Amino acid sequence: MTLVLLLLAAFFLGSIPTGLLITRARGIDIKKAGSGNIGATNVLRTTGKLPAFLTLIGDMAKGAAAVGIAKHYGLDIFWVGMTGFLAVAGHIFSVFLNFRGGKGVATALGVLLIYSPQTCLFTIIIWLMTVAIFRYSSLGALVSFALLPISIALLDSPEKLPFAVCVLALILLRHRENLQRLLTGTEARLGQRP
């Protein structure tokens, strides 16, 4: 019963629409601004750096908290990972937004921060390098998370691979439109309005 409650709590925690709450405090409905996404990149484009930073921290905190709670209750490595996965899934399929939400990148990084810190650092470095070179936030997410199963196997434990594969699948699913735009050259660069 404890396991089920923790998994449900992780999903609901991940569902909290941080970006929506922060931009609403500024009088902006982020779902109707820019790309309509509730994540930090769209908040940056439409509302500014501070709201974007707060959104990023808030979304990461959801994932970190879910995993931290699971570890506190003594779940094994697999179920801690699945708790983190459900926090990411909650962000993407938020119960507060009719099962729609963000892209899951910041929440996944928050999970990694607690679940596999060294992999988190590697993922952030790859994301930053990709964005610095190509100026596409979505490409940074796609490249860094495509490497997640490999990096987590090399830098941490193969026992954490189920989490890495499941999160990669979610990230790819949520970024499929971005991938199409990248291939056709119509994706907005970082700092550019979509």
Mean of pLDDT over the chain:
93
pTM: 0.93
pLDDT at 82 (0 to 100): 97
Residue-wise over 145-169: b if at least 16 C-beta within 10 A, else e?
bebbbebbeebbeeebbebbebbbe
pLDDT for 194 beyond 60: no
pLDDT at 34 (0 to 100): 79
Query: Which residues is 100 bridged to in the sheet?
Result: 94
pLDDT at 191 (0 to 100): 62
Mean pLDDT of the 145-161 span: 96
pLDDT at 193 (0 to 100): 59
pLDDT at 151 (0 to 100): 97
Mean pLDDT of the 25-41 span: 86
pLDDT at 85 (0 to 100): 98
Query: Which residues is 94 bridged to in the sheet?
Result: 100
Q: Which tops the pLDDT comparison, 50 or 27?
A: 50
Cβ atoms of residues 163 and 82 within 8 Å:
yes
pLDDT at 114 (0 to 100): 98
Dump pLDDT digits (tens) for 61-109: 999 999 999 999 999 999 999 999 999 999 999 999 999 999 999 999 9
Dump pLDDT digits (tens) for 3-23: 999 999 999 999 999 999 999
pLDDT at 122 (0 to 100): 97
pLDDT at 89 (0 to 100): 98
Domains of the chain, residue spans:
2-184
CA distances from 188 to 98, 117, 161, 165, 192 (A): 26, 30, 32, 27, 6
